[in-house]
Amino acid sequence: MDNIFSFKTILLSVAILLFIKTLFSIINKNSKKKLPPSPPTLPFIGHLHLLKPPLHQTLVGISNRYGPATFLRFGSRLALIISSHTLAEQCFTTHDMTFANRPQLSSVMLPNAIAMANYGSYWRSVRQIAVVELLSNQRINASLDIRAREVRDMARRLFQSHNQSHKLERSSGFEKLQVKDFLLELMLNVVMMMIVGRRFSGDSVQNYEEMQRYKEAVEGWFELSGGSNIEDFLPIFRMLDLKGVMKRMRELTDVNEMMAQKMIDEHKQEGAENRNTMIARMLELQKEDPEKYSNSVIRNICISLLLGGSETSTTTLVWAMANLLNNPEVLKKAVSEIDANVGNERLIDESDMINLPYLQHILNETMRIYPTGPLLVPHESSKEVTIGGYEIPPGTMLLVNVYHIQRNPEIWDEPTKFKPERFANGNADVKWMIPFGMGRRRCPGEALAMRKMVLVLGTLIQCFHWERVGDKLVDMTEGAGLTLPMAVPLEALYRPRHVMIRVLSEL
């Protein structure tokens, strides 16, 4: 026992000395550079004491005081905070290659996922697979029936659940719904069916406990990957892991990798031929190029698609529903648009999108005010670069505050007001809308995400009446995390629209 204690003491002492040496080396090296303005620092921890959740709001306050380019020090790591669309454009156009790397944070335990992988040959290869083989318009069109079937099943389950609770009321009463939980299960079902051909939940789900475990892993990963874990910046805390962050991230990573490998194994055992799934497509290509489409690559792509295609879309839809509940006149206008262009004799489908511009405006306005990634996934500079006249050292972590940029009153009239009409007739300067990122690291699943969200939101509006629980407005307080969760989980009341009961009864 004494030997173990002595070893830990020595290890911590070495870590502290190395940290101090690294810190002073960084300070001395950058003391003569023209750096962006910065708040006063504390010894060793730098500006970590200023970081309070939600991080994007804390950074808004710092940027408002020190300017659109702010330089912070998180322990031994340097960080550039950008809250201006002109400076963001510099980073992702003129200097896109320089900022193509990802900071290798210790709490991010999925370094080979598409979004987290460092820039290089591996990232180019997996992104090319995702863009060309899995997320091209041709492949998205090929999986249209899967999305339509899952959304129809969602409407059927809501309708049946309501009827079971209100048999004596002839569908006139309202039923309460936990919106986030319901939509996350739907999105996981959609993505799982596209990737592997089976559901997370519903009538035909197999091994319910296993699916719930994976659902919790998805939610937990986004909750812990918020970009402000002190373990990422101070080696001492990383070694001690006092809050158990590192241990929990390892557990979540194990669950993600176990599930992805199980999907591959089951596909191989059952035979992937003639199966319209993403894994089936990659296993076909594996026969032609085993190295490029190795099990490890397929596993990492599956994890990337599951994480990127479920929680983020769910969060946007939750905020959209919350905004509609607080703005019933917008909801009424969306219902009128669907009734006029789709009618009440069938459910909305993806081909209707072109005729439903207001529905798309609602989603655009939601993503403007409440971007799913309020801070873009961090980038890192690979060499010294000049941004806005300031000299940015290599190895600096770049945090772009999309939340701040998209609420800029210099660009948007009444920036915090929910007004989908601002996108009508090209009135909004939408090029400064970057909820999916910008440059070569822009999210490759943007087209698929928009199709899913329009279809789901349109179906919910077409088929059901929606009201708030109680007279008070929905609490729009923002929570903390990599995505932008609501601090208070959204509950809503729903009942079938009378004009849609026949269609819903036939599902």
pLDDT tens for 451-473 read 999 999 999 999 999 999 999 99
Query: For residues 52 and 88, what is the distance between their CA atoms, to the nearest angstrom?
Result: 23
Please give the structure tokens belonging to residue 260: 């992805």
Query: For residues 257 and 443, what is the distance between their CA atoms, to the nearest angstrom?
Result: 22
Whether 396 contacts 78, CB under 8 Å: yes
Rounded to an integer, the average pLDDT of 479-492 is 90
Which alpha helices (DSSP H) does 43-201 contain, by range? 55-66, 85-89, 121-128, 137-142, 144-165, 179-195
CA-based nearest residue to 227, from 365, 84, 72, 119:
72
When comparing pLDDT for 32 and 244, which is higher? 244
Q: What would the pLDDT profile of 337-350 be if each residue is shown by its tens digit?
A: 999 999 999 999 99
Please give the structure tokens belonging to residue 387: 């941004």
Whether 279 contacts 265, CB under 8 Å: no
Whether 137 shows a pLDDT value over 50: the answer reads yes
- Identify the band that residue 4 occupies on the pLDDT scale cut at 50, 70 and 90: very low
Question: What pLDDT is attached to residue 7?
Answer: 45
Q: Which residue's entry shows tokens 């669907």? A: 338
- 122 inside domain: yes
- Say what percent of the chain tops pLDDT 70: 85
- 12 inside domain: no
Whether 460 contacts 318, CB under 8 Å: no
Question: What pLDDT is attached to residue 207?
Answer: 64
Window from 4-18, 147-161, 187-201 with minimum mean pLDDT = 4-18
Q: Taking the mean position of all CA atoms in its chain, how far away is CA 94? A: 26
Rounded to an integer, the average pLDDT of 54-67 is 95
Burial of 152 (0-12, 13-18, 19+ CB in 10 A): middle
CA-based nearest residue to 461, from 365, 313, 360:
360
Question: What pLDDT is attached to residue 88?
Answer: 96
Count of the separate structural domains present in the chain: 1
Q: Which residue's entry shows tokens 């090209």? A: 426
When comparing pLDDT for 306 and 15, which is higher? 306
Whether 299 contacts 218, CB under 8 Å: no
- 30 inside domain: no
Whether 493 contacts 467, CB under 8 Å: yes
Window from 220-224, 315-319, 361-365, 397-401 with minimum mean pLDDT = 220-224
Burial of 57 (0-12, 13-18, 19+ CB in 10 A): middle
Rounded to an integer, the average pLDDT of 178-206 is 83
Tell me 323's DSSP state: H
Whether 67 contacts 59, CB under 8 Å: no
Whether 318 shows a pLDDT value over 70: the answer reads yes
- 7 inside domain: no
Question: What pLDDT is attached to residue 274?
Answer: 56
Mean pLDDT, the chain, whole residue set: 87
Query: For residues 292 and 252, what is the distance between their CA atoms, to the nearest angstrom?
Result: 26
Query: For residues 454 and 39, what is the distance between their CA atoms, to the nearest angstrom?
Result: 43
Rounded to an integer, the average pLDDT of 247-275 is 81
- 127 inside domain: yes
Q: Within 10 A of 382 (CB to CB), how many other CB atoms are there?
A: 17
Whether 25 shows a pLDDT value over 60: the answer reads no
- The residues, ordered by sequence, that sit 6+ positions from 401 with a Cβ below 8 Å of its Cβ are 56, 59, 60, 63, 81, 82, 83, 374, 375
Rounded to an integer, the average pLDDT of 133-156 is 94
Query: For residues 99 and 65, what is the distance between their CA atoms, to the nearest angstrom?
Result: 25
Tell me whether the omega of the peptide bond preceding residue 54 falls within 30 degrees of 0, making it cis: yes
Query: For residues 131 and 137, what is the distance between their CA atoms, to the nearest angstrom?
Result: 9
Q: State the helix-helix crossing angle for 179-195 and 311-326, rounded to 10 degrees.
A: 140
Question: What pLDDT is attached to residue 339?
Answer: 98
- 406 inside domain: yes
Question: What pLDDT is attached to residue 5?
Answer: 42
Helix or strand holding residue 169 (H, E): none
Whether 302 contacts 130, CB under 8 Å: no
Whether 374 shows a pLDDT value over 80: the answer reads yes
CA-based nearest residue to 230, from 105, 341, 342:
105
**188: domain range?**
44-505
Tell me 135's DSSP state: S
- The residues, ordered by sequence, that sit 6+ positions from 194 with a Cβ below 8 Å of its Cβ are 143, 146, 147, 277, 278, 305
Please give the structure tokens belonging to residue 62: 């710092």
Rounded to an integer, the average pLDDT of 363-368 is 96
- 488 inside domain: yes
Whether 226 shows a pLDDT value over 60: the answer reads no
Whether 8 shows a pLDDT value over 50: the answer reads no
Please give the structure tokens belonging to residue 153: 């099943």
- Identify the band that residue 255 occupies on the pLDDT scale cut at 50, 70 and 90: confident
- 9 inside domain: no
372: CATH: 1.10.630.10
Give Rg (Cα) of the chain. Answer: 24
Window from 76-90, 101-115, 185-199, 467-481 with minimum mean pLDDT = 101-115
Whether 250 shows a pLDDT value over 90: the answer reads no
